């Protein structure tokens, strides 16, 4: 019996197809079918050979095209049907991408797999916005958290731990709860005038970056009408975007914002 081809769980990066790894590009070229998420850009999908089957399995907040259980079952079914499968995820599969859950399911069902890391949104979007996540004298570390809560649950983070002025805080999926995030961090002791930014569709031609302070972040996002996918970055390093921003001009919150 012919051995099963491993499911390639591939990180597509934050959007710019030039940020794909060589291994990721090769996996896409060799795949029979690609099961992809909502955050995978069209420019990356355009790299697929015309004969490659595409299957959309995207999920957004409160809007699941395909449940996680169905995705898990689909990967096993496709692979055991003899096909070479790529599971394509935005960013990196192991950073808020649920790639580890899918890998565990495959392992439980004796399906081989490989993990192909991708550039996570924090690194890619930060770089394209001119915001280094660490910088000597400004940030001694960085923390990644999710601002999205599961259905029926409240956003319950360790706010005291997160309110560290020497640490850059990167928040994935934080638009819906940005007011609570801002209020709780300030209540936990982080200064209201801590630099903060939000990056919409980072690394793509549609990227928009706003720069403001922690207290003004919710209002600035609302005025700019930022939409998902957007990444929040909070910390002293955000100020460097004024000098290091190279991809698109940033919008300062005190300027009039028009969509």
Helix (H, G, I), strand (E, B) or coil at 43: helix
Which two structure tokens, joined as six digits, stand for 151? 């259905």
Alpha-carbon span 168 to 187, nearest angstrom: 18
Q: Within a 13 Å sphere around the CA of 225, how many CA atoms are in the beta-carbon half?
A: 4
Asked if 22 contacts 130 with a C-beta cutoff of 8 angstroms, the reply is: no
Of 37, 89, 92, 164, catalytic: 37
Helices (H), the chain: 22-30, 42-45, 68-80, 99-108, 121-129, 159-162, 178-187, 217-224, 241-244
Alpha-carbon span 250 to 242, nearest angstrom: 8
Q: Is 23 one of the annotated active-site residues of the chain?
A: no
Strands 208-213 and 195-200: antiparallel
Q: Is 258 one of the annotated active-site residues of the chain?
A: no
Count the residues in the chain.
259
Of 23, 59, 180, 183, catalytic: 59
Task: Look at the alpha carbons of 43, 24, 209, 163 in this order and tell me if their dihedral is positive or negative.
Answer: positive
Helix (H, G, I), strand (E, B) or coil at 36: strand
Alpha-carbon span 47 to 52, nearest angstrom: 10
Which two structure tokens, joined as six digits, stand for 63? 């809007």
Which two structure tokens, joined as six digits, stand for 23? 């291994």
Alpha-carbon span 167 to 159, nearest angstrom: 13
Asked if 208 contacts 162 with a C-beta cutoff of 8 angstroms, the reply is: no
Q: Which residues are the active-site residues? A: 37, 59
């Amino acid at each position: 019996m012919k051995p099963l081809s491993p499911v390639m769980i591939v990180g597509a990066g934050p959007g710019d197809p030039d940020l794909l790894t060589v291994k990721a590009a090769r996996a896409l070229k060799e795949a029979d079918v690609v099961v992809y998420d909502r955050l995978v850009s069209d420019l990356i999908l355009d790299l697929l050979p015309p004969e490659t089957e595409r299957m959309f399995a995207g999920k957004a907040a409160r809007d699941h095209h395909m449940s996680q259980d169905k995705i898990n079952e689909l990967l096993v079914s496709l692979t055991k049907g003899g096909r070479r499968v790529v599971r394509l995820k935005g960013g990196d599969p192991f950073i808020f991408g649920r790639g580890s859950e899918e890998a565990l399911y495959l392992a439980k069902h004796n399906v081989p797999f490989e993990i192909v890391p991708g550039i996570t949104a924090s690194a890619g979007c930060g770089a394209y916005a001119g915001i280094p996540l660490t910088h000597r004298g400004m940030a001694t570390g960085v923390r990644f958290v999710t601002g999205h809560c599961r259905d029926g649950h409240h956003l319950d983070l360790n706010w005291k731990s997160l309110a560290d002025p020497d640490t850059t805080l990167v928040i994935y999926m934080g638009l819906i709860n940005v007011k609570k995030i801002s209020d709780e961090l300030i209540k936990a002791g982080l200064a209201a005038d801590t630099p903060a930014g939000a990056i919409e569709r980072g690394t793509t031609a549609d990227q928009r970056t706003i720069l403001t302070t922690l207290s003004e972040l919710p209002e600035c996002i609302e005025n700019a009408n930022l939409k998902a996918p957007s990444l929040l970055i909070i910390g002293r390093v955000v100020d460097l975007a004024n000098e290091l921003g190279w991809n698109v001009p940033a919008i300062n919150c005190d300027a009039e914002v028009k969509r």
